[in-house]
Structure 1
Amino acid sequence: MNYTKILRSSLGTFVTRVGLSVAVFLGIFYLAVATTPVVLGIYSLFIAVIRALDLLTNVGITEAAQKRISEGTERDEYFTATLVVRLGLFAPVGISVAIYHQQIATYIGSELVVPFLFAGSFAFLVRKTIESGLIGEKKVAQAGLLQFIYATGQLASWIFLVSLGYGLFGVLVGYVVGQLVASGVGMILLTLRLKRPTIQHFRSLFEFAKYSWVGAVTTQSWIWTDTLVLGIFVVPSFIGVYELGWQITGVLFLLASAISSTLFANISELSVHDEAERITDLLERSLVYTGILAIPGMVGGMIFAEPLLAIFGEEYRIGATVVVVLILSRVFHSYEVVFGKVINALDRPDLMFRTNVVFILFNLVFNVLAVATIGWLGAALATTGAMVLKTGLSYYYIRSLLTFSIPIQEILLEILSALIMGFCLWLLVPVSSSLPPFETIVFIGVGAAIYAASVLILVERIRVATADMFRTLLLRMET
């Protein structure tokens, strides 16, 4: 398998996720400047509850669907079975929300959110099910496109409704509208059709899901445990600042996420044919690119965290230390997600089951103890500590499946490039945490250019791959 083709596919997915990140960034920026940290905090808790409810209708089924559909046989039946299971589980979840609506409203901080939990949860369920079908069909970039459409649809709704004075109500409506628009586009892109499944299809999904459900819990635990715990101990305004920091650091994870998603479908297919050598080659090559954004992000975060947050408003400046800690968690997660996707693609969800159980327990316990004792910074420290542990376990288990070499030299050269960038910025940037927004953005761009040049000069494999992709692009343009 040509790795350049996979890298191009990863970059295609990366581009859609950059677009998604920009849309999310603009959305959070708009909420930050057009509303208050309290509204942003309530919205963040609203999303966290929706993701928690989604776990109850997922139980690993979408992950199982991606695996079974990617294997290439009876795809329509597996997709239909996935949809049937998720819709069947939605009914008791909806009833539970109706019964405990008062407690949920008190926790989130507004009674207005309850009716939107029904609509939002259902719309999210439909979109994620369609995305799982697209990923199974190896249309990873198109699945990412749905997330971009959701984010842009939500942003457009926010600008229209919030500017008219609808406040939190407009924010919640915008979420539902974005999900519905993305689902509509997804149904057009999806070539899978509804086809009556058999008991065997359900059984096959559950056979994989009995392990992968913990992976689904882990994904949401990684993203939302700190927020959910903060909702117990911290006022919504601090949650709004924390979530802003989390969203800003998300851009550093985009390339690793794109690579891991592309690897999953391709390695899943190779594993069926016992292509161990080619799988190992793909993994080793991917690790060269995995941390290429997160590593310089760590250095840049130490320099620009405070002035970057100040762009959203002076009240957000207090989250600078949280941002730096969260960037460290993104560095480890960049490598962990690649290890985890490969393990699942090799049809060993039982190994990730063990890893994920440990992560969920430690993440929850660490967060409760840390937030209760040292406040909201404890949430960032606990989340990072749990991710370091998970990365170590994932590496241990993938070593039991494959014999491969970590490209240590290239990773060290990427770290060196980041340090070169940091040194140059140290010389250029004024010793002040009050940089104007325009200067902050310019200096970030200068730092990115310095890092990119350093990486291309120092890391031969990246330089050659970049040249190959540009050469291929030019040939396509000429033809």
Structure 2
Amino acid sequence: MNIGRSSLKLFAAQFGSSILQFLGIAYFARVLGPSPLGVFFLFQALLGMLAIPANFGLSGAVEKRISEGKSQGAYLSSAIVLKITPLILIVVTILLFQSLINNYLGDDLAILLAVAIILQEASQLSIAVLKGELRVGETAILQVTRQIAWVGVGTAFVSLGFGSVALIYGLLTGLCLVLVWGWYKVSIIPDKPSREHAHSLIEYSKYNAVSSIGGYFYNWMDVAIIGLFLTQAHVGAYEIAWRVTSIVILLSRSIATTIFPQISKWDSKDAQDRIEDLLPQVLTPSLILVIPAFFGTVVLSEEILGLLFGSEYTIASLALIILMFDQVTEAGQVVLGRSLQAVNRPDLAARATVAGVVINLGLNLALVKPFGITGAAVATMIASLISGLLLHGFYLSQIVPIKIPSLELASCAIAAVGMTILIQTVIVIVGVGSIAKLLIMVALGAVIYTILLFSSPRMRTKMKIYFETISTRESQ
């Protein structure tokens, strides 16, 4: 597997998917308003939380074991068997408590939730298998397809007056397409399942599940608590802010996703020196976009929400700034966390995640009611910093020495500060009163940041070495 090309291919697909999603959300936000959009986000929150017991870390275990290159067919069939029972129990539970679920969501959506969890888990398993086959780049098109289906079908049903349920129909359509296409692409043929292979999957997944819980927790628990204490309109505004920040971390996630199976393979061959050499090479590219995005958001948060989505969403302006800072720590965490799992230490990743879950839950319960959605953003930021970055980094450093590229990251920060000063000066002179002016400011900021960053000979040399090195690194 070529790590560089796979990372860029996945990043391009994720970026395209996010732009589609961003445009779709902007359209739906204006047409539907925050309350119906909040219903859809609550639906996604429940779907994400139900995925915790439905998957229980199994997808990550499948990716890890298949990437090791042994008994792949047996691992696949054993994973399928392990998934059936929890899925049945979850669907039955949804049907038994559908009235409570419908009341919480604000619409009759429990049946669609049961369908969604089945489609989601089946489609995600196919993606995990492809990643385990070191075919990470091939999963890129599946992500684009899912977003195209969501936006296209959602738009069609919204125009017919279906409201929030239109977005759910789009979601289900996208999951169906990924399910069919993903399994069509899988080349591993299921073999006879065995207790030995099932036990091996469970041994890994029981720790990986905790890390998975952390991921879903940060994505959806604050939304669920906001829905409990505040209104659906607050849910909609907060989630819009979260979706905006998620775009800037795409390159970081692409790199983390791509290096996982490769590090796993090297770890199985005791090639620790290759892992140690790789980590500093990917840390700077992982943070190179999120640092200027944070500084840019400080001066443009209200305009981003108000002009793109509507004035009713500007209540999340401060939350947007806080969540964007959270993405800076998240960018480092996704690389370090996935690397820790790849070296077969999901137990340590689980410890870090448990700390984050406890901190996040406690702070959300304490801060959401008195401080609203700003409190939820602060809770997520603090938990992510302590658990996501510091603890994952500490545990990984006990196994593989981590060399932090401090000078390169400092160069990114200095260039971002310079960009912010210049952009703020331009804003004072011409203002930002339209979407066109906002887009011009964003583009101008990107140009200024790039010029300032690469005016440093050190950064030019480092990035050249990175691309030359990473583009020729193949698995062996």
Match of 1:77 in 2: 74
Query: 1:157-179 CA deviation, whole Å, 9 max, x = no partner?
Result: 01111111121232221111111
1:12 aligns with 2:9: yes
Match of 2:417 in 1: 419
Distance 1:241 1:368, change over 3 A: same
1:368 aligns with 2:361: no
CA contact (8 A) 1:146 1:183 kept: no
Shift of 1:467: 7.3
Match of 1:477 in 2: none
Distance 1:102 1:251, change over 3 A: same
Aligned residue identity for 2:259: L
Aligned residue identity for 1:212: N
Query: 1:324-363 CA deviation, whole Å, 9 max, x = no partner?
Result: 0000111101001111111111111111111111111111
Match of 2:36 in 1: 39
Distance across 2 between alignment mates of 1:428 and 1:465: 35
Normalised by the length of structure 2, the TM-score is 0.95
Query: 1:239-279 CA deviation, whole Å, 9 max, x = no partner?
Result: 10110010000011101101111111111111111111111
Match of 2:300 in 1: 304
CA contact (8 A) 1:306 1:433 kept: no
Query: 1:193-232 CA deviation, whole Å, 9 max, x = no partner?
Result: 3322111110110111121110111110111111011110
1:65 aligns with 2:39: no
Distance across 1 between alignment mates of 2:470 and 2:439: 27
Match of 2:92 in 1: 95
Distance across 2 between alignment mates of 1:287 and 1:109: 43
Gaps of 5+ in 1: 473-479
Structure 2 matches for 1:97-112, cutoff 5 A? Answer: 97-110=94-107, 112=108
Match of 1:406 in 2: 404
Match of 2:19 in 1: 22
Distance across 1 between alignment mates of 2:470 and 2:46: 44
Shift of 1:462: 4.4
CA contact (8 A) 1:457 1:463 kept: no
1:86 corresponds to which of 72, 76, 83: 83
Distance across 1 between alignment mates of 2:208 and 2:431: 44
CA contact (8 A) 2:4 2:470 kept: no
Q: Stretches of 4+ moved more than 6 A in 1?
A: 469-472
Distance across 2 between alignment mates of 1:467 and 1:253: 19
Distance across 2 between alignment mates of 1:222 and 1:261: 18
CA contact (8 A) 1:69 1:137 kept: yes
Distance across 2 between alignment mates of 1:82 and 1:48: 25
Match of 1:252 in 2: 248
CA contact (8 A) 1:456 1:463 kept: no
For 2:309, what is the secondary structure of its paired residue?
A: coil
For 1:165, what is the secondary structure of its paired residue?
A: coil
Normalised by the length of structure 1, the TM-score is 0.94
1:51 aligns with 2:67: no
Distance 1:470 1:213, change over 3 A: closer
Query: 1:115-153 CA deviation, whole Å, 9 max, x = no partner?
Result: 110111111111111111111112222223322211110
Structure 2 matches for 1:316-465, cutoff 5 A? Answer: 316-390=313-387, 391-430=389-428, 435-458=433-456, 459-465=459-465
Gaps of 5+ in 2: none
Aligned residue identity for 2:224: L
Distance 1:51 1:243, change over 3 A: same
CA contact (8 A) 1:307 1:433 kept: no
Distance across 2 between alignment mates of 1:454 and 1:185: 43
For 1:457, what is the secondary structure of its paired residue?
A: coil
Distance across 2 between alignment mates of 1:227 and 1:207: 31
CA contact (8 A) 2:302 2:317 kept: yes
For 2:190, what is the secondary structure of its paired residue?
A: coil
Distance 1:457 1:87, change over 3 A: farther
Aligned residue identity for 1:422: T
| Worse-superposed segment, 450-459 or 216-225 | 450-459
Distance across 2 between alignment mates of 1:467 and 1:79: 34
The count of corresponding residues between Structure 1 and Structure 2 is 468
Match of 1:287 in 2: 283
For 1:403, what is the secondary structure of its paired residue?
A: coil
Distance across 1 between alignment mates of 2:454 and 2:7: 19
1:169 corresponds to which of 155, 165, 170: 165
Aligned residue identity for 2:254: A
Shift of 1:73: 1.3
CA contact (8 A) 1:61 1:209 kept: yes
2:187 corresponds to which of 188, 191, 208: 191
| Worse-superposed segment, 145-154 or 59-68 | 145-154
Shift of 1:26: 1.7
Aligned residue identity for 1:450: I
Distance 1:69 1:471, change over 3 A: closer
